[in-house]
Structure 1
Amino acid sequence: MKKIIITLVFVLGSISLQAQELYWETNVNKAIEVSKKTKKPLLLFFTGSDWCGWCIRLQKEVLKTPEFATWAKDNVVLVELDYPRAKAQTNEIKQQNAQLQQIFGIQGYPTVFFSNVQESAGKINFQALGNTGYVAGGPKAWLAVADGILKKK
């Protein structure tokens, strides 16, 4: 009986964790389509996921918390733009990420850019709302900064 209860608790716990899991788009064109449909700005997370200590810390302390998940679902379309050293990426993703790094003038990681998307004469234009990086103080402090940036839109 104990094994059944323990198994049930484990399965239900796994399901609730998956329900909180956010989807991070890696293809910016797909994210732009979602942004247009939902009228939500993009949150572009520029990261070195497998080597950047501050990026890993931001993920752990903020981006993988229930508070962030709840906020993100209501406010933004998530886009991860990764610049790994050991993880494999397609050439298409590498080129896309390099181009976006230039467009937004990214000089260090982690950088989180908030941007609206405008289409004019078939061209995509990013309207930058603001940016941030790692903010000490956990999700509450980071979300206060993010909310301040989004209020400018």
Structure 2
Amino acid sequence: MMKKVMFPLLCVFAILLTYPQETKTEKLAINDINSDRLNWVLTYKEALKRSKEENKPVLMYFTGSDWCGPCIRLDKELFHTEKFKEFSDKELILLEVDIPRQQDLLTQDKLSENLYLKKKFKVNSFPTLIFVNHRGRKIAEKSGYIMTEYYYPFIQSVIQKF
């Protein structure tokens, strides 16, 4: 009787030992796919500080990186272009506010901050772009996906008003 119980338990234990484990470093890297292309800042506080120092507006990109089709499309067609990289380096402070379904893709601190920002700015749809000044006051917003060529005039108008 004991052998019949022990053998299946040992098999399950052996399988669990060989199952690959994901680390927090890997999770952050999964979320931070754009980091090698764009200069995303990591925290809201850092974004506001840099906004003040560099006299640039903060572009907060609210996204659902692992579930929102329009967000994935916008990320690919706008944020992963050389034109946007050159433009944003000169004109914007970038902060990605990701609300993934797989919440373990982010560190707990980053997830908490992102959920706080979603609530603070009353974001109910994705993708949403919100521009704020160095005090965190909203100066413009664009919700939903539009063709990428329409983003540039909108962003330019925000920068001119800033």
Question: Which TM-score band (shorter chain)?
Answer: 0.7 to 0.9
1:100 aligns with 2:110: no
State the alpha-carbon separation in 1 of the partners of residues 160 and 90 from structure 2. Answer: 14
1:135 to 134, 146, 152: 146
TM-score (norm 2): 0.72
| Corresponding residue number in structure 2 for 1:81 | 97
| Corresponding residue number in structure 1 for 2:43 | 27
Q: Deviations over 1:79-126 (max 9, x none)?
A: 0010112252122111111111111110111000011022xxxxxxx2
State the alpha-carbon separation in 1 of the partners of residues 125 and 159 from structure 2. Answer: 22
TM-score (norm 1): 0.76
* Structure 1 or 2: more strand by fraction: 1
| Corresponding residue number in structure 2 for 1:91 | 108
State the alpha-carbon separation in 2 of the partners of residues 150 and 32 from structure 1. Answer: 16
**Percent of aligned pairs sharing the same letter:** 31
**Could you tell me whether the CA contact under 8 Å between 1:31 and 1:42 is conserved in 2?**
yes
Which portions of structure 1, spanning 4 or more consecutive aligned residues, are displaced by more than 4 angstroms?
A: none
State the alpha-carbon separation in 2 of the partners of residues 59 and 88 from structure 1. Answer: 17
Equivalent position amino acid for 2:146 in 1: V
Corresponding residue pairs, total = 126
**Could you tell me whether the CA contact under 8 Å between 2:39 and 2:89 is conserved in 1?**
no
1:37 to 50, 53, 58: 53
1:61 aligns with 2:77: yes
- The Cα RMSD (Å) is 1.8
Distance apart, 1:152 and its partner CA: 2.5
Counterpart of 1:96 in 2: which secondary structure?
Answer: helix
Structure of larger gyration radius? 2
* Structure 1 or 2: more helix by fraction: 2
1:150 aligns with 2:159: yes
